Amino acid sequence: MSSTSNADTKKDVSRRMEGALEVLHKEFGGLRTGRASISLLEPLMIDAYGSQMPINQVGTVGIPEPRMLTVQVWDKTMVKSVEKTIMESGLGLNPISDGQLVRVPLPALTEERRLELSKVAAKYAEDARIAVRNVRRHAMDELKRSEKDGDITEDEHHDYSQEVQELTDSYVKKIDESLSHKEKDILQV
């Protein structure tokens, strides 16, 4: 394993760990906090024209007030489908249509619901930590194999292992910081 292949390996490990962090942020975006967020509706798929389409491909999602989302549906035949999808999303939302505009008021979260959402956020963070540790384990296995095959020395193996561990630690720290920020958001009244 030459130094260029080490740089490639390090870049690959970093890219894969970054992917785990991006997935976490996307999952956090779907968790409700006390404020309206467009990312709350982003994962919803609407039955449109005989297929499933993301909500942002059938209308414009907006935030006119801190506790209100709106969907300006482009095709008035899609309004009922948008309403139905939001209602059945499991987010506890009751949309109200006004012509082609679907208003989605966000009810205040109860203390119990906030704690539930906080636990879900913690589970998402743990899944991300596991994904990062799996990337580390895979990289460490590759290093062992490279040393065994004679591609790298024992010292290089030690140095590369340390770099992989430092990367792992930094990504776990980023995950913990994201979780802390999200929990603060969720628990904020």
Q: What is the largest CA-CA distance in the chain?
A: 70
* Residue 1 confidence class, pLDDT cut points 50, 70, 90: very low
Q: State residue 11's pLDDT score.
A: 86
Q: Which CATH superfamily hosts domain 3-30+110-187?
A: Ribosome-recycling factor (1.10.132.20)
Upper half-sphere CA count for residue 96 (Cβ side, 13 Å): 5
Q: State residue 118's pLDDT score.
A: 84
- Position 61 pLDDT exceeds 60: yes
Domain boundaries of the chain, sorted by first residue: 3-30+110-187, 38-105
d(CA 48, CA 27): 24
Q: State residue 133's pLDDT score.
A: 94
What is the rounded average pLDDT for all residues in the chain? 85
- Position 168 pLDDT exceeds 90: yes
CA dist 72 to 10, 55, 80, 87, 122, Å? 45, 10, 12, 16, 33
d(CA 136, CA 43): 29
DSSP 3-state assignment of 59?
strand
Does 3.30.1360.40 match the CATH number of domain 38-105? yes
Q: Please, what is the Cα angle at 127 between 185 and 121, to 5 degrees?
A: 20
Average pLDDT over residues 71-94: 85
Task: Check if the beta carbon of residue 83 is closer than 8 Å to that of residue 48.
Answer: no
CB proximity list for 71: less than 8 A, separation 6 or greater? 41, 55, 59, 60, 61, 62, 82, 86, 95, 101, 102, 104
- Position 103 pLDDT exceeds 60: yes
Average pLDDT over residues 85-99: 82
Q: State residue 10's pLDDT score.
A: 80
Q: State residue 33's pLDDT score.
A: 64
Query: Look-up: residue for tokens 């249509």?
Result: 97
pTM of the model: 0.67
